[in-house]
A and B are shown apart, each in its own frame.
Chain A
Amino acid sequence: MKTFLIHTVISFVVAYQFFQRTDWLSYHARSAGGIFMLAFAVLWITTLLYNRAYFRKMPKAIFFILYILKEIFVANLRIAYDILKPRYAINPAVLAVPLDAKDDLSITLLACVVALTPGSIALDVRQDRRVLYVHMLYIDDDLDKAKHQIKHGFERRILELTT
């Protein structure tokens, strides 16, 4: 995390200075973003020498963000279709999802991701931090299947990133 923030700042400064000092690329959002990405990728390759864990986790983090965006979009389409139908076919339930995540950061991340995918809100964490209560809209008579979906889809990926 610390490495990521430092790399972001360094590549921002690199991209800024690049356009200050040279002018063989036009000053557009595309070219500036490209230079930023290039500096970031070069820094990512250098971590092979001093921070192997970061080198391994970065592609996983990018795939995780893409997965969340896809999930948000698909589920938003589903809920929009349900709103526009004359009779809504929602079947809400409150799930008690058992947590494997122990530390604050991963529980917070999991709750945020669950809240971002439409049709589910994290209501509360039990006092001993073993259970997350999630309010979900689309349950097909099988609570365990939905729990497995949350645990396997989101929690596994978050644990891969934070541990």
Chain B
Amino acid sequence: MLNNLDSFLLKETISSVFILVGVAFMLIATIGLLRFPDFYIRMSAITKGSTLGLGLILAGLGIYFDHPAMLLKVVAIISFTFMTAPVAAHVLSRTAVQNKIPFWNKTNLTDFQSYLKKEHRSEKKVDEERAK
């Protein structure tokens, strides 16, 4: 059974599965972007879904071409995406907190109250200094 298995067909099947799963993850993440109630939950849905989707699509590409130069590029792109995507998500959500984008009303904010108070107080100080 294993002897007459076409290696090209096997490669193509595996890479197709990878690419389809990646595309499905991206699609679901985008649906989540439309459905979820507030900014922070949407951020966490879209960044992770698209990171994993991109990784799987590129892995499928690398398997399909099976060439060392391609493999090198694919590994480089995946590692850089996995390094930069969390930084982008962090910067966006931190800016949102500082610009007082509201949280969803079911969010449990007990640990965060002191931070929010401090942020707002410092903003008040800045406003007062500007007024002077």
Contact = CB atoms under 8 A, between A and B. Distances in A.
Interface of A: 15, 19, 27-30, 32-33, 72-73, 75-76, 79-80, 83-84, 88, 90-96, 111-124, 126, 133, 135, 137, 139, 143
B104 A124 contact: no
Interface of B: 25, 28-29, 31-32, 35-36, 40-41, 43-45, 47-49, 51-52, 62-63, 65-68, 70-71, 82-83, 85-87, 89-90, 93-94, 97, 103-104, 106-112, 115
Given A33-B71, A83-B28, A115 B47 contact: yes
Contact of A79 (B40, B49, B82, B106): B49
B111 A94 contact: yes
Contacts, number: 131
B31 A111 contact: no
Nearest to B108: A93
Contacts of A29: 62-63, 65-68, 70-71
B71 A122 contact: no
A79 B32 contact: yes
